[in-house]
Structure 1
Amino acid sequence: MDDTIAPDRTAPGAAGTATATRPAGEGDHTDVARRLLRSSEMLSYDPAREVDWETPLDREFHGASPEWSTLYGTAYWDEMTPEQQRELTRQESASVASTGIWFEMILQQMVLRDFYAKDPTDPAFQWALTEIADECRHSIMFARGVAKLGARPYRPKRSVVELGRAFAALAGGEAAYAAILVAEEVLDVMQRDWMRDERVVPFVRTINNIHVVEESRHMKFARDEVRERMKGVSALRRHADAVVIAGAAYHIVTSMVSEDVYEAAGLDRKRAVREARANQHHKAMMRSSCAGLMEFLGSAGLLTPVARAIYRRADLL
């Protein structure tokens, strides 16, 4: 199979790219679901066919854009050989993909619960099932990508796994969809960089392009759900939602890159963790990736003082 990048067809109107505010004349909630369904019919990918799974891994490539590495910009990064740098980015890419699978499983449970026993003729119901189908394919795609990168699967800490289990079972309404949006928005920005970076191994670039195109529809739906469900909510509920969403964001973002990646890349784990935690470059990258998200949460009334403090602790604000 030709190991090329799938065309980047993320232009507005093709994939329904999300925006911070609803454009004039966008229509009601049902119209949004109808448009997303049409977009999915016109532009969806089959990772089994689009991604080159057969060509052996070329270790001359990175697994992600070096600038997104948790150690880029540190003294330790400068001391590493090019081979070590590439291996680290491959392990970090595998960790991000593994965390993506974990959260996509949470997402699917929340969406299924939300639409349980609702009207199956409603376009929103049909879109929800379409999104779940997309997420199933994405999880398989990420899993195969981790294996091809020569990495083992990474998992969040046990405490975070159990918190995720509880969140999947209990979260609902605007809190669930805003948490979904947080995970998708953060991944979206970094993956847009990776998919266009010729230093990144081609099959990872293809995976990222597929995810960016299809997740743009998911983000649009999540934003619309949050707007709809925030209408008329009490101040108490809004403040509670803001804290729940920020807490979910904190655990998602801080779990993206496992500390185990440093040992897997042959580095001194203690030193790598210490320098990564103090890395101002990476913190700035994360904050920039969340600028649009923070603007949206602010417009929805979900950026309360307590929530802001949590986002700052996660280096998202």
Structure 2
Amino acid sequence: MLSYDPATEVDWDAPLPEDAYGLNPEWSTLYGTRLWQEMTEAQRVTLTRHEVASIMSTGVWFEMILQQLVLRDQYVRDYATAEFQFALTEIADECRHSIMFARACQKMGIPAYFPKRPVVELARILKTVGNAEVAYGGILVAEEVLDVMQRDAMRAPNVLDLVRTTSRIHVVEESRHMRFARAEIRERVRHAGTLRKRSSALAIAVVAYFIITSLVNEGVYAAAGLDTRRAVAAARNNRHHHAMMRTGSAPLMDFLGTSGLLTRPSSAIYQRVHML
């Protein structure tokens, strides 16, 4: 399996060009809005750097949850199986990713952004009781959304090399994690009844809602010198960003549909965060 060591693969000592974005600007929550047109180029650069730092911070937060979910699921499993050994490999990858994202934020000089306190506390329930397809469904949602954004970032010449490299590492290693999560979901729902599928579909959608709404902290707008209230309203009504989210989420929605995990109630939740 192809794995990278971010400590050596990333040039942590390289200076950061002042004009390079933190993420592909088309993924900025304000891109395409009137407010984006009014912003200076320096504000756009600052905003995208804080947005990517917020996304990375949320990634670290959820990767810590992910590791606990996988460890609980593999507790007292047959150590000789490929599934058990791959699960531990995945956890090792996630540890490196969390350190990588933390160092990237530190390099950009941006402090950690955290989800709102109620979300943090609700997540304690997920990491304590989440199991089977709900656990792997939450993992898949988080990784699929990040994957689409990072594939765009790693190909964009106007994005920081730091972000392009960390995105490449994450995309390569997470591709096998997503295959693992999909295989686990298929196996867990193979003989599941209708009631269990419906309840799991709803639980996964709720997890997705909190992940998506936590990706970009409202503090990023103040950091770019913007009026937070106006910026939040502009982001909430940004049709361009909504379309990007729907396009990026299409493969995930197709998979959940074919797995019997896309019901009318869960679809309504995905629509609220523009994943469907």
TM over 0.5: yes
- SS across alignment from 1:72: coil
Q: Which aligned segments of 4 or more residues in structure 1 are displaced greater than 3 angstroms?
A: none
5+ residue gaps, structure 1, are 1-39
Counterpart position of 1:57 = 16
- SS across alignment from 1:290: helix
Aligned mate of 1:138, from 97, 101, 111: 97
Counterpart position of 2:30 = 71
Counterpart position of 2:120 = 161
Residues 97-246 of structure 1: pairs in structure 2 closer than 5 A:
97-246=56-205
Aligned-CA RMSD value: 0.6
Counterpart position of 1:271 = 230
> Mean Cα displacement is larger for which, 103-112 or 54-63?
54-63
Counterpart position of 2:270 = 311
Matches of 1:188 and 1:212, distance apart in 2: 6
Q: Cα deviations across residues 118-138 of structure 1 (Å, max 9, x unaligned)? A: 111111000000000000000
On the 8 A contact 1:110/1:176 being kept in 2, the answer is: yes
Matches of 1:151 and 1:77, distance apart in 2: 21
Q: Cα deviations across residues 18-39 of structure 1 (Å, max 9, x unaligned)? A: xxxxxxxxxxxxxxxxxxxxxx
Q: Cα deviations across residues 15-61 of structure 1 (Å, max 9, x unaligned)? A: xxxxxxxxxxxxxxxxxxxxxxxxx2xx1100000001011222210
Matches of 2:112 and 2:121, distance apart in 1: 18
> Mean Cα displacement is larger for which, 52-61 or 199-208?
52-61
- SS across alignment from 1:126: helix
Q: CA deviation at 1:79?
A: 0.4
Q: Cα deviations across residues 251-307 of structure 1 (Å, max 9, x unaligned)? A: 001100001100111111111011111100001111111000000000000000000
Q: Cα deviations across residues 203-226 of structure 1 (Å, max 9, x unaligned)? A: 110000000000000000000000
Which has a greater percent of helix? 2
Q: TM-score, normalised by structure 2?
A: 0.99
- SS across alignment from 2:226: coil
Matches of 2:152 and 2:191, distance apart in 1: 38
Equivalent position amino acid for 1:134 in 2: D
Aligned length: 276
- SS across alignment from 2:19: coil
Matches of 2:228 and 2:158, distance apart in 1: 25
On the 8 A contact 1:94/1:154 being kept in 2, the answer is: yes
On the 8 A contact 1:194/1:208 being kept in 2, the answer is: yes
On the 8 A contact 1:63/1:149 being kept in 2, the answer is: no
- SS across alignment from 2:60: helix
Matches of 1:144 and 1:69, distance apart in 2: 22
- 2:247 pairs with 1:288: yes
Equivalent position amino acid for 1:306 in 2: P
- SS across alignment from 2:267: helix
Aligned mate of 2:258, from 299, 306, 312: 299
Name the % identity: 60
- SS across alignment from 2:7: helix
